[in-house]
Amino acid sequence: MKTLHDLVADKLERADLASRDALLRIPLDNIDRWLANGHTAPQRLEQWRQILLRAQQSPDGFQALLTLLRDRSEIATHLKSFDPFPGVLTTLERREYLLQCAYAH
Protein backbone atom coordinates (compact mmCIF):
# COMPACT_ATOMS: atom_id res chain seq x y z
CA MET A 1 0.00 0.00 0.00
CA LYS A 2 1.19 3.48 -0.79
CA THR A 3 2.15 5.91 1.93
CA LEU A 4 1.38 9.62 2.11
CA HIS A 5 5.00 10.22 1.06
CA ASP A 6 4.40 8.06 -2.03
CA LEU A 7 1.38 10.22 -2.84
CA VAL A 8 3.44 13.40 -2.47
CA ALA A 9 6.09 11.92 -4.79
CA ASP A 10 3.43 10.88 -7.30
CA LYS A 11 1.87 14.34 -7.28
CA LEU A 12 5.23 16.05 -7.76
CA GLU A 13 6.14 13.67 -10.56
CA ARG A 14 2.87 14.28 -12.43
CA ALA A 15 3.06 18.08 -12.10
CA ASP A 16 4.18 20.32 -14.93
CA LEU A 17 7.19 22.55 -14.18
CA ALA A 18 5.18 25.57 -13.01
CA SER A 19 2.98 23.45 -10.74
CA ARG A 20 6.02 21.57 -9.44
CA ASP A 21 7.71 24.83 -8.47
CA ALA A 22 4.57 25.92 -6.62
CA LEU A 23 4.30 22.56 -4.86
CA LEU A 24 7.97 22.65 -3.80
CA ARG A 25 7.47 26.17 -2.46
CA ILE A 26 4.96 24.81 0.10
CA PRO A 27 7.49 22.75 2.12
CA LEU A 28 10.09 25.51 1.81
CA ASP A 29 7.60 28.01 3.25
CA ASN A 30 6.73 25.51 6.01
CA ILE A 31 10.43 25.20 6.88
CA ASP A 32 10.84 28.99 7.05
CA ARG A 33 7.76 29.34 9.25
CA TRP A 34 8.64 26.45 11.55
CA LEU A 35 12.22 27.64 12.04
CA ALA A 36 10.96 31.16 12.80
CA ASN A 37 8.70 29.62 15.46
CA GLY A 38 11.58 27.71 17.11
CA HIS A 39 11.05 24.18 15.75
CA THR A 40 12.72 21.56 17.93
CA ALA A 41 14.60 19.89 15.04
CA PRO A 42 16.17 22.72 13.02
CA GLN A 43 18.96 20.48 11.69
CA ARG A 44 16.41 18.12 10.11
CA LEU A 45 14.53 21.02 8.57
CA GLU A 46 17.77 22.42 7.15
CA GLN A 47 18.47 18.97 5.71
CA TRP A 48 15.07 19.08 4.02
CA ARG A 49 15.71 22.61 2.77
CA GLN A 50 18.89 21.47 1.01
CA ILE A 51 17.11 18.45 -0.52
CA LEU A 52 14.27 20.68 -1.77
CA LEU A 53 16.61 23.32 -3.17
CA ARG A 54 18.53 20.64 -5.07
CA ALA A 55 15.18 19.32 -6.35
CA GLN A 56 14.39 22.79 -7.72
CA GLN A 57 17.82 23.22 -9.28
CA SER A 58 18.31 20.03 -11.27
CA PRO A 59 16.59 16.94 -12.66
CA ASP A 60 18.99 14.77 -10.63
CA GLY A 61 18.06 16.64 -7.45
CA PHE A 62 14.38 16.20 -8.26
CA GLN A 63 14.83 12.46 -8.84
CA ALA A 64 16.73 12.22 -5.54
CA LEU A 65 13.76 13.81 -3.76
CA LEU A 66 11.32 11.36 -5.37
CA THR A 67 13.57 8.45 -4.42
CA LEU A 68 13.79 9.66 -0.83
CA LEU A 69 10.03 10.12 -0.55
CA ARG A 70 9.48 6.54 -1.76
CA ASP A 71 12.34 5.03 0.28
CA ARG A 72 11.22 2.83 3.18
CA SER A 73 14.64 2.38 4.78
CA GLU A 74 15.10 3.21 8.45
CA ILE A 75 17.23 6.28 7.69
CA ALA A 76 14.71 7.67 5.18
CA THR A 77 11.81 6.92 7.51
CA HIS A 78 13.54 8.83 10.32
CA LEU A 79 14.15 11.86 8.10
CA LYS A 80 10.57 11.74 6.81
CA SER A 81 9.29 11.84 10.40
CA PHE A 82 10.31 15.53 10.23
CA ASP A 83 8.93 16.12 6.74
CA PRO A 84 7.79 19.61 5.71
CA PHE A 85 5.09 18.50 3.25
CA PRO A 86 1.82 19.46 4.97
CA GLY A 87 -0.21 21.37 2.41
CA VAL A 88 1.16 19.61 -0.68
CA LEU A 89 -1.69 17.11 -0.69
CA THR A 90 -5.19 18.53 -0.69
CA THR A 91 -7.73 17.59 1.97
CA LEU A 92 -9.50 15.43 -0.61
CA GLU A 93 -6.28 13.62 -1.54
CA ARG A 94 -5.54 12.89 2.12
CA ARG A 95 -9.13 11.86 2.81
CA GLU A 96 -9.13 9.37 -0.10
CA TYR A 97 -5.88 7.89 1.22
CA LEU A 98 -7.19 7.60 4.77
CA LEU A 99 -10.38 5.94 3.57
CA GLN A 100 -8.38 3.38 1.60
CA CYS A 101 -6.16 2.80 4.61
CA ALA A 102 -9.14 2.32 6.91
CA TYR A 103 -10.75 -0.01 4.39
CA ALA A 104 -7.57 -2.10 4.10
CA HIS A 105 -7.49 -2.69 7.85
In this prediction, residue 99 carries a pLDDT of: 82
SS3 for 57?
Answer: helix
Residue pLDDT, tens place only, 18-71: 999 999 999 999 999 999 999 999 999 999 999 999 999 999 999 999 999 999
In this prediction, residue 104 carries a pLDDT of: 52
Helix (H) and strand (E) counts in the chain: 6, 0
pLDDT band, residue 98 (cuts 50/70/90): confident
